[in-house]
Amino acid sequence: MSTVAEADLAALFHPYTNLVKHPETGPMVITRGQGVRVYDEAGKEYIEGLAGLWCTTLGWGEERLAEVAAAQMRELPFYHLFSSKAHTPGVRLAEALKALAPVSDSKVFLACSGSEANDTAIKMIWYRNNALGRPQKKKIISRERAYHGVTVATGSLTGLPVNQRGFDLPIERILHTGCPHYWRYGEKGESEEQFATRRAEELEKLILAEGPDTVAAFFAEPVMGAGGVIVPPKGYFEKIQAVLKKYDVLLVADEVITGFGRTGNMFGCDTFGIRPDMMTVAKALSSGYLPISALIVSGEVFEPIKAQSGEIGSFGHGLTYGGHPVPAAVALETLKIYAERDIVGHVRKVAPVLQDGLRALQQHPLVGEARGLGLIGALELVADKDTKTAFDPKLAVGARVVAKAQAHGVILRAMGDAVAFAPPLVIEADDIRLLLERFRLALDEAHGELVAAGAVSH
């Protein structure tokens, strides 16, 4: 019988992977996990510094979730929500999300992934405006460096070249406005607040140029995740929301990464004073244990959709596994654990250890900026700290540092030359310190190699 690695090379088609280089390096096979650690097939231990893919908030080996999944599998392993059918886990989960989310008079649509939830939001926006007799009000604005998924529509919202090049994206009706990264895009002498004002003015100019009667919605992550963990500048969302309200443009908050405690509040919307018309959640909804997501819409958004479905005869959208009873039961139990263990309180307690540690690393010769809040952050690696000059992309410095960190027993993610940190929310202070110590070793090794190669001067 072939090994797992051999079978991988023969059979598996990997996402987010250089498919030419993969056969040369082979896969890293993870065999088990416990707490904030995972282990490879050789038994080597790693601190999972990105909670898998921003999602395994309760860490590995949470027996309560395994028990709930097994019990639900035995009682009702599958049923759907089509044609007025319902099941207890799906209904109770929707009820719990309605109570938690900062969306007024809300209704909940269940799906399987963040991409699906955001894709559903796009379809609902278009459907609603048809219902309101506004067939031209269909354009949707996202932001440069945003990440909202990889379906044809959400991949168009995503503002990252790797998700669009070669895929014939973006599609029509999808627009992009400027990224809210003050450190990288702020002008000389411009304060953080002035930068936020400029970004809001640019958004307004875009809406006016396109025609307010053609612009339907604006998508935003409270903290941009895969775009590099971009924390918005002071006053940004207040100013953005004023523009959206002025032109009757819906605000969709993508909480796929920031939801359920990551920023030190239950939602990123709570952290930044965002009042969304629609909100998407996924990842931490089940601590990543099973695939599930949700779109939460306000009553004002829902009512025209409801009316339109009556005119047509049915709301013609749904997913076979959307609201699957097993993931729904696990998600409901996950929410109970968050409340019982005061996960948000724990994040607030240990977050300073991560954030202070990242800011201490800003003194390192390779680090231009340390940013973040709660248990999410990033380090921006630069060739010259004073001028903020980026490395030649061919050097792949971010990937180099992350590979060295992995060798030292920490799994992280490079997004260009930004290295992201988002450990499980249950991580303790000592493990955060160990994670940062191991990462510091990787930085020092990479720095030595870059100095030797002449890529940095000191």
Q: What is the pLDDT of residues 289-344, one digit of tens each?
A: 999 999 999 999 999 999 999 999 999 999 999 999 999 999 999 999 999 999 99
pLDDT tens-place string over residues 94-119? 999 999 999 999 999 999 999 999 99
4-61+342-452 against 65-340: fold identical: no
- Give CA–CA dist 49/94, Å, rounded: 30
Which amino acid is present at 116? E
Residue 455 has pLDDT above 90, yes or no: no
Is CATH 2.60.120.10 what the domain over 65-340 is classified as, yes or no?
no
DSSP state letter for 223: S
pLDDT above 90 coverage of the chain, percent: 96
- The domain spans of the chain are 4-61+342-452, 65-340
pLDDT at 391 over 80: yes
Complete edge-to-edge strand list for the sheet that includes strand 367-373 = 367-373, 376-381, 418-421, 413-415
pLDDT at 412 over 90: yes
pLDDT for res 262 = 98
| pLDDT band with cut points at 50, 70 and 90 for residue 24 | very high
In this prediction, residues 135-145 reach a mean pLDDT of 98
Average pLDDT over residues 411-422: 97
What is the percentage of the chain residues whose pLDDT exceeds 70? Answer: 100
Show Cβ contacts of residue 295 under 8 Å, excluding neighbours closer than 6 positions.
108, 109, 111, 117, 118, 120, 121, 124, 278, 279, 280
pLDDT at 410 over 80: yes
The correct answer on CATH 3.90.1150.10 for the domain covering 4-61+342-452 is yes
Backbone angles phi, psi at 17, to 5 degrees: -140, 140
pLDDT per residue as tens digits for the range 270-297: 999 999 999 999 999 999 999 999 999 9
pLDDT for the residue numbered 458: 74
Mean pLDDT computed over 206-229: 98
pLDDT at 147 over 80: yes
Question: For all residues of the chain together, what is the average pLDDT?
Answer: 97
Q: What 8-state DSSP symbol labels residue 163? A: G
- Give just the sign of the alpha carbon dihedral 80, 86, 88, 91: positive
Please name the residues in contact with 162: beta carbons below 8 A apart, sequence gap of 6 or more: none
Structure tokens at 395: 């050097």
Q: Which of 362, 330, 365, 369 is nearest to 446 (CA)?
A: 365
Would the pTM of this model clear 0.75, i.e. be above it?
A: yes
